[in-house]
Structure 1
Amino acid sequence: MKLWEDWKRLHQAATSSTNCYLGVFPDIHVNFPTMKVIMWNVRGAVSREFVSHAREVIKIHNPEVFIVLETMAKDRVAQHVYRVLGFDDCRTIEANGIRGGMWLLWKKPINLLEFAIDSPNVFHSLFKISPDIPEFLLTGIHAPSSVKDKAALWKDLEDNAPPASTPWLVLGDMNEVVSQNEKMGGRPVTNVQGKKFQKWMDSARLIDLKYSGPRFTWDNCRDGVNLIRERLDRALANAEWLKDHPNTQGKQKNPTLVAAASTWKRPPPGYVKINTDGAWRGEGSAGAGSIIRDADGSWMMGKAWKTKARNPTEAELLAIKGGMQMAIEASFDKVVIETDAISLKNTIEDAGKYGTSELVAILRDMEAMLSKGCHFEFNYVPRGANGVAHLLAKTAVEKEAIDGLGKLFDNPPGTIRDVYEGDMLRSVE
């Protein structure tokens, strides 16, 4: 590939001449300058909602480099947005109609030396961080979903690898699952699945970086036995990169943080708000989560506990009942209960009409709670505005140490803090 021949000449000039101009750098010299890169598959970057939520993500994480996948946008949109978001420059792969599209945005003093588009799914960018740190190659990938097209992509990358001495970081939505522990639900992972992707990784000597945060990066937005989750997003690096940046670690974020479709809102003055959610993965694997926030949106208490729910509906109902019980025990006067199960919101308000329901015992308990001196109001919210409760319920199912009595959280745990802080930023009084 001509790109790598050009790169070799550029690399030789940059490393052999002390007078080579590499951009303006601050008069500060450290052994390992901290750099943060964020990759975000937005599935559309032309809306006002995207800009609003991107600002929040950037405010919280302050990245030096921002990669946006599946923009579905023309180049002229990027030329406006990168300035609005506070970046100094950008390069793009234009979308094909409403399909694809990739943006690369960065801030000074990082200096872009070279940018090349390998295909509609891949870009390569050669960056310099500081005069005494070697330049590095950052590759962004948004792999196609077709098995045939993915195979062609991995073969092309295998045949056109950069020089082995290049510090190389690869970020992307690879659309590949390589082992069963990267998937939950749906069809089992086959022995041949992801093999060509792994072959490219092996030939390029790329290492799948360690990461913190949620185990899966994609789900099909279903509940119960129909739920499928997969790890599709990855950060890869070669030995040269890790030699220069040995502490590099990926951090995956829950998609609720950047969901543009809904917003958690603060309760009216004088009220507290309790968000609840149930999780059900089959008989013997169910849990509930509940978070209490005051009128300022501040965290008061969170709880995660296991339940004996027999189905997803019962799991949701037990979560709401648990939230009501927390409010009564805390002697709150006015409480807004929010659930993302709209049918249950209506069922609870008309509990007396459901005497033949299979959930009648739980409904009768909840009906009795309505007369305990606490004024309850019930609201339906979309899943995107119920992210904290959703993660607490998930924690209840996944953590063996949590039992039916549950675990109380006086402060947001680390795995949930980002979503909670995103709610605070977006909340409207």
Structure 2
Amino acid sequence: MKIFSWNLRGLGNPRGVRSLRDLLTKEDPDVVFLQETRLKVAQWIFCKYSLGFKNCFVVDSFGCSGGLAMLWKDDVNLHILNYSSHHIHALIRNSMFEGGVGIITGVYGHPQTERREEVWSIVKALGRGVTSPWLVFGDFNEILNQSEKHGGNLRSERQMAGFRSVLEEKGLRDLGFSGKPFTWCNRREGDIICERLDRFLGNLMWCEAFPFTHVQHGVAAYSDHTPIWLDSNGGLTKRKGHRLFRFEAMWIRDRDCTHIVERVWDESEGIGNCNDLMGKISKCGVELSKWNRRSFGNVQKELASAKEKLKEMEDLDPAYQQLPQHKVAREEVQKWLEKG
């Protein structure tokens, strides 16, 4: 199972949607937890489909901030248990869990320091009586120790102790990560601060059930937070089947797309039954995929190159000491995402 988490600081603009859709297409997660969506429930009716999901639970944003969403695939048997403006708590039924049940909790730590304890109290309360594998993850807006921060003043020991108390009382373990050491940066030239605010935590039952669990800190040209994801199999199990056909939004702007669909549809007699309909849809997919490689192959190559350069930049300079170069690399990715 792959679970994806990202504080994307707003999904109400094309750049955010493009960046998220690009990541989800590549990583193909089973469950997605998004923080600070800044969207209302009604706006998700269209948004979830544009991201490739039909199942979605949303917590409204308040004003121009906040907002949570959990999305999951059709073959994931997920049930929402409870929620607040700072968490979504869900149960997953699957034979991979001992007892057939696992618990996942997406968390968004309060951005106001003086109110962060409210969220810790919620997590502690949710953990009472949990007797299944339990995964807690998201943007906690807090670090566990000083090594998880670069720049700025030292973090208050009292603040960190409050967060550590959640792990100690509920038997949660930090599941580690691969990638750059920080998941948030203020990107303020001359006063750079970087911190590891986003993470996955698991109880002992989770760790025993999934000993090969792997957490990855990703790369994205959007938001001041880094997307993170967990693979319970450590990437050892490959996805089965062929890559799914996806209709790309960029095709609509090209008249050739319309011509291909019209030609395939007009090649034979009308539709007699469902098999005829599915046959035409399948052939459209094949023809559009061929045309995509011919017409947009260069855009996709340039996008892949730009993303690789951004990754190299972040690997070499995780504390953003060369901020202008980071900005250039991020803009280059956005340029090719927009062209795509």
Q: Provide the TM-score with structure 2 as the length reference.
A: 0.67
Of the three residues 76, 83, 92, the one matched with 1:127 is: 92
For 1:143, give the aligned amino acid: G
Give yes or no for contact 2:7–2:34 (8 Å, CA) kept in 1: yes
- Aligned residue type for 1:38: F
Distance 2:320 2:41 in 1: 44
Aligned to 1:232: 197
Q: Does 1:247 pair with 2:212?
A: yes
Structure 1 residues 216-295: aligned runs within 5 Å: 216-224=182-190, 226-256=191-221
- Do 1:137 and 1:169's aligned partners in 2 also have CA atoms closer than 8 Å? yes
Counterpart of 1:426 in 2: which secondary structure? helix
Shift in CA distance, 253/423, structure 1 to aligned 2, threshold 3 Å: same
- Report if aligned partners of 1:297, 1:427 keep a CA contact under 8 Å in 2: no
The equivalent of 2:123 in structure 1 is 157
Per-residue deviation, 1:115: 2.9
Distance 2:183 2:223 in 1: 13
Cα deviation per residue 1:14-56 (whole Å; 9 max; x = unaligned)? xxxxxxxxxxxxxxxxxxxxx1111111111122332222221
For 1:68, what is the secondary structure of its paired residue?
Answer: strand
More helix by share: 2
Q: CA deviation at 1:201?
A: 1.2
> Match of 1:92, SS?
strand
Q: Deviations over 1:321-366 (max 9, x none)?
A: xxxxxxxxxxxxxxxxxxxxxxxxxxxxxxxxxxxxxxxxxxxxxx
Q: Provide, for residues 174-216 of structure 1, a one-character-per-residue CA deviation record: whole Å limited to 9, x for no partner.
A: 1112211100110023332311111111111000111011100
Provide the C-alpha distance between the structure 2 equivalents of 1:425 and 1:57, rounded to a whole number of angstroms.
14
Percent of pairs with identical residues: 28
Q: What is the aligned partner in structure 1 of residue 153 from structure 2?
A: 187
Displacement, 1:386? Answer: 7.5
Q: Which amino acid aligns with 2:112?
A: S
Q: Deviations over 1:40-90 (max 9, x none)?
A: 111111223322222211111111111111011110112221122111301
Letter matched to residue 187 of structure 2: C
* Aligned equivalents of 2:112, 2:216: Cα separation in 1: 27
CA distance in 2, matches of 1:390, 1:298: 15
In structure 2, the partner of 1:48 is 14
Aligned residue among 296, 302, 307 for 1:297: 302
1:109 and 1:239, CA in 2 relative to 1: closer, same or farther beyond 3 A? same
Aligned-partner SS, 1:82: helix
Deviation (angstroms), 1:392:
6.1
1:426 aligned to which of 328, 337, 340 = 337
Structure 1 residue 112 displacement after superposition? 1.5
Cα-to-partner distance string for 1:138-167 (whole Å, 9 max, x where unaligned): 101111122221112212432442424121
Is residue 201 from structure 1 mapped to residue 112 from structure 2 by the alignment?
A: no
AA matched with 1:223: E
Q: How many pairs align?
A: 258
State how far apart, in whole Å, the 2-side matches of 1:421 and 1:167 are: 41
Please list, as runs of the form range in 1=range in 2, the aligned pairs for 1:102-113 lying within 5 A after superposition. Answer: 102-113=68-79
Distance between the aligned counterparts of 2:154 and 2:122, measured in 1?
Answer: 28
**What is aligned with 2:254?**
none
CA 1:166–1:220: 2 relative to 1, 3 Å? same
Q: Distance in 2 between matches of 1:385 and 1:243?
A: 35
| Contact 2:104–2:136, Cα closer than 8 Å, also in 1 | yes
Aligned CA RMSD, in angstroms, stands at 3.4
For residues 421 and 103 of structure 1, the distance between their equivalents in structure 2, rounded to whole angstroms, comes to: 28
Query: Measured at CA, do residues 297 and 66 of structure 1 come closer, stay the same or move farther in structure 2, by a change above 3 Å?
Result: same
| Alpha-carbon distance in structure 1 between the residues aligned to 2:314 and 2:80 | 41
Structure 2 equivalent of residue 4 of structure 1: none
Deviates more, 1:40-49 or 1:86-95: 40-49
Match of 1:92 in 2: 58
Specify the alignment match of 1:369 in structure 2.
none
Distance 2:212 2:304 in 1: 32
Deviations 1:210-239 (A, max 9, x none): 101110011111234x21111100100001
Aligned to 1:146: 112
User: Structure 2: how far apart are the matches of 1:197 and 1:132?
Assistant: 27
